[in-house]
Amino acid sequence: MEHSNRIKKLPVQFFATLVQKVGKAIAEGRDIINLGQGNPDQQTPPHIVKALQQAAEDPSTHKYSPFRGLTELKQAAVDFYKSEYGVDINAETEVAILFGTKTGLVELPMCLLNEGDLMLLPDPGYPDYLSGVVLANVEYRTFPLKAENNFLPDYNSIPTRQRELAKLMYLNYPNNPTGSIADKAFFEETVAFAKKNNITILHDFAYGAIGFNGKKPISFLEVEGAKEVGVEMYTLSKTYNMAGWRVGFAVGNSKIIEALNIIQDHMYVSLFPAVQKAAVEALSGSQDCVRELVARYESRRNVFISACREIGWNVTAPEGSFFAWLPVPNGFTSEEFADYLLERANVVVAPGKGFGEYGEGYIRVGLLIDEDRLVEAVDRIKKLNIF
């Protein structure tokens, strides 16, 4: 039996290869410090777990969910956007419940583009954006995110032809993998760019809760006109350590939201209602757990970045997300350096090349283990005497 051309064209998942390498090293009995992945290490806060337990015992959650999700979850998303960002959203027409945002990010090109249409993606960027490109059978070009521009795109450098042809553009701040954040002026520029060139914007707000130095990351929808040109996707995976629960939502332009809802009407019957009820508790309950989590990541960041600087590694501290984006020392490609660290220091990092051509020259470190292990990782790297 043959796989379809569509399946054959799907890119080999970068993280799958990384997971294999780590699995092999662990199976060999090595004491591996894994900084390569993006899986939150803390538990889901107990009040959210309790809400799931209670909801799971309620027989009404054992039935099919309404196709487009529970009204109370859409309302919780609306209330959350109002209280966190001061943004007004219509619960009926401007919210789509998602099985985690990866699903929505992959669905969106199928919703808005026709075969052969062009979309624009960040380089470096989250590799799974490419899955949506292949499944929708569309074309894509990338725009570089460079350190000298704080890893924001320079719209003036996007070629005229691409601006004319592109129909959809993905952005992501706080950014995976670079850890940079966007300000209001940048989002204002984005809305103007989108309007001028008739390009729809998807803002992936996966790390929306995680900003450092007292800076709260802003929502794309806070900017005037954003809803006319795009949507934002928000996941509970990172904010509440709920990566395994698979719950997120899209908010914004009603026409785009309707397209997402239509495709999902055909593919799913929404999420397990008990998970949706727990998500309501997450969004509308106390947000102390989020403040504690952000403080934990900030403390890890500070400890890790100081330790790197102490060994002579000239690194920039991330402003948000739970990643650090570190320059590779001279003489190595990012993959060579990642392999070197795995072989010689039992430290796993993600080579920047896996996030795109402009990721070359960097590695990504996830701040997803305790501070003593982060320090130990740097200590092991120090012993290699490369800085």
Ligand X SMILES: Cc1ncc(COP(=O)(O)O)c(C=O)c1O
Span from 96-104, 277-285, 290-298, 341-349 in contact with ligand X (CB under 6 A): 96-104
Kindly state the DSSP code that residue 285 receives in the 8-state scheme. Answer: S
C-alpha span between 207 and 293 (Å, rounded): 12
C-alpha span between 38 and 176 (Å, rounded): 9
> Of the two residues 44 and 176, which places its CB atom closer to ligand X in the complex?
176
Binding track over 183-212 against ligand X, x by CB under 6 A: ---------------------x-x------
> Of the two residues 231 and 381, which places its CB atom closer to ligand X in the complex?
231
Nearest to 237 by CA among 34, 44, 18, 15: 44
CB of 226 to ligand X, least distance (A): 18
Q: Which residues pair with 252 in a beta bridge?
A: 231
CB of 189 to ligand X, least distance (A): 21
- Count the Cβ atoms, other than its own, within 10 Å of residue 385: 7
356 touches 151 (CB < 8 A): no
Candidate residues 36, 40, 45, 100; the one interacting with ligand X per rule CB under 6 A: 100
Tokens describing residue 114: 């026709």
Residue 102 touches ligand X, criterion: CB under 6 A: yes
Nearest to 253 by CA among 279, 231, 284, 286: 231
Candidate residues 109, 124, 153, 248; the one interacting with ligand X per rule CB under 6 A: 248
CB of 288 to ligand X, least distance (A): 22
> Of the two residues 101 and 261, which places its CB atom closer to ligand X in the complex?
101
CB of 102 to ligand X, least distance (A): 3
> Of the two residues 100 and 273, which places its CB atom closer to ligand X in the complex?
100
Angle at the Cα of 102 from the Cα atoms of 185 and 2, rounded to 5 degrees: 140
Residue 320 touches ligand X, criterion: CB under 6 A: no
Tokens describing residue 46: 């107990």
Residue 276 touches ligand X, criterion: CB under 6 A: no
What are phi and psi for residue 27, nearest 5 degrees? -60, -30
Tokens describing residue 252: 């914004």
C-alpha span between 107 and 151 (Å, rounded): 26
CA distances 292 to 56, 210, 287, Å, are 27, 11, 9
Give yes or no for a cis peptide into 318 (omega within 30° of 0).
Answer: no
Helix (H, G, I), strand (E, B) or coil at 92: coil
Candidate residues 44, 235, 241, 334; the one interacting with ligand X per rule CB under 6 A: 235
Span from 46-54, 79-87, 95-103, 150-158 in contact with ligand X (CB under 6 A): 95-103
> Of the two residues 227 and 238, which places its CB atom closer to ligand X in the complex?
238
Pairing of strands 362-366, 230-235: unpaired
CB of 30 to ligand X, least distance (A): 26
DSSP assignment of 294-330, as one string? HHHHHHHHHHHHHHHHHTT---PPPSBSSEEEEEPPT
Residue 127 touches ligand X, criterion: CB under 6 A: no
CB of 40 to ligand X, least distance (A): 9
Residue 237 touches ligand X, criterion: CB under 6 A: yes
Residue 18 touches ligand X, criterion: CB under 6 A: no
> Of the two residues 118 and 206, which places its CB atom closer to ligand X in the complex?
206
CB of 45 to ligand X, least distance (A): 17
Tokens describing residue 159: 């070629």
Residue 101 touches ligand X, criterion: CB under 6 A: yes
Q: Which of residues 25-64 bind ligand X (CB under 6 A)?
A: 38
> Of the two residues 65 and 235, which places its CB atom closer to ligand X in the complex?
235
Residue 176 touches ligand X, criterion: CB under 6 A: yes
Torsion of CA 172, 177, 180, 181, to 10 degrees: 20
Residue 140 touches ligand X, criterion: CB under 6 A: no
Helix (H, G, I), strand (E, B) or coil at 65: coil
Span from 100-108, 136-144, 252-260, 370-378 in contact with ligand X (CB under 6 A): 100-108
> Of the two residues 124 and 273, which places its CB atom closer to ligand X in the complex?
124
> Of the two residues 180 and 237, which places its CB atom closer to ligand X in the complex?
237
CA distances 311 to 306, 322, 386, Å, are 9, 22, 9
The residues binding ligand X (CB under 6 A) are 38, 100-102, 126, 172, 176, 204, 206, 235, 237, 243, 248
